[in-house]
Amino acid sequence: QKEVEQNSGPLSVPEGAIASLNCTYSDRGSQSFFWYRQYSGKSPELIMSIYSNGDKEDGRFTAQLNKASQYVSLLIRDSQPSDSATYLCAVRRTNAGKSTFGDGTTLTVKP
Amino acid sequence: EPEVTQTPSHQVTQMGQEVILRCVPISNHLYFYWYRQILGQKVEFLVSFYNNEISEKSEIFDDQFSVERPDGSNFTLKIRSTKLEDSAMYFCASSVQAGSYGYTFGSGTRLTVV
């Protein structure tokens, strides 16, 4: 079982739609959860972090965390072509420790 | 906006040679990391560094790898004797604090071992 598992993708949505990205993790001791966006050939860019159960909203992005189900998701509302990228889920167990990344889900938003 | 700066952007080296990848983290950040991403694969943890010492390292980070913060600003990753399988994008990252703070990644160094 992978430590961090994401939708295999690729995911394609029309412009203006909601994109839903999912991630499950195996380590119940994980404390912090992150979503990064990575454009092709570029470095990951942090877009959301969450550490409490529930929803966290930032603009068009909403992260959802359910620790009991070991599940974290990212919703992108009003998707734009510029949102086309690979989205990486990352989890961290300890305060200063490493983050473990999933394989990523590639999202394409079609105009 | 503050950036993590990495140099060089691309390095080609012969197998068996030593390489040093350089990073300048954001000035008020306290936690530093090296990750790598082999083409088409996921981002993999190499090492974390805090308070001038390694706090955690992965199985990948064997005796061929070392890190230093020689002058309080630069953060370097040295690979002593490169192998073909070391070819990857190497990312430096830093974080202002631990816990729920995510990373700021540098733009990366593409290492090609021939």
Question: Is B12 in contact with B65 (CB distance < 8 Å)?
Answer: no
Q: Which residues of chain B have a Cβ shorter than 8 Å from any chain A Cβ?
A: 31, 33, 41-45, 48, 50, 55-56, 58, 91, 98-108
Average pLDDT over residues B106-113: 98
- What are the chain A neighbours of B59 within 8 Å (beta carbons)? none
3-state secondary structure of A30: coil
pLDDT for B73 equals: 85
For residue B91, pLDDT over 90 is answered with yes
User: Cα distance from B108 to chain A (closest Cα, Å)?
Assistant: 7
Interchain contact A104–B (C-beta under 8 A):
yes
User: Cα distance from B44 to chain A (closest Cα, Å)?
Assistant: 7
Task: Find the residue in B nearest to A102 (Cα).
Answer: B42
Residue B78's identity, in one-letter code, is: K
Mean pLDDT of the residues in chain A: 94
Q: How confident is the model at residue B108 (pLDDT cuts 50, 70, 90)?
A: very high
Contacts of A79 (CB under 8 A, 6+ apart): A13, A14, A15, A16, A17, A18, A19, A107, A109
**Diameter over CA atoms, chain B:** 40
Q: Which residue has the tokens 């200063």?
A: A96
Interchain contact A88–B (C-beta under 8 A):
yes
3-state secondary structure of B85: helix
**Residues B94, B74: Cα–Cα separation, whole Å:** 12
What is the Rg, in whole angstroms, of the alpha carbon atoms belonging to chain B? 13
User: Cα distance from A80 to chain B (closest Cα, Å)?
Assistant: 24
Structure tokens at B113: 């071992």
3-state secondary structure of B84: helix
User: Cα distance from B93 to chain A (closest Cα, Å)?
Assistant: 10
Structure tokens at B76: 């370097």
User: B45–A46: do the CB atoms touch at under 8 Å?
Assistant: no
Q: Kindly report the CA angle at B76 between A36 and B15, in degrees rounded to 5?
A: 95
For residue A102, pLDDT over 70 is answered with yes
Task: Find the residue in B nearest to A2 (Cα).
Answer: B42
User: A45–B105: do the CB atoms touch at under 8 Å?
Assistant: yes
Average pLDDT over residues B35-49: 96
Q: Which of A3-7, A17-21, A90-94, B73-77 has the lowest mean pLDDT?
A: A90-94
pLDDT for A9 equals: 82
Interchain contact A34–B (C-beta under 8 A):
yes
pLDDT in tens, B9-22: 999 999 999 999 99
pLDDT in tens, A3-50: 999 987 899 999 999 999 999 999 998 999 999 999 999 999 999 999
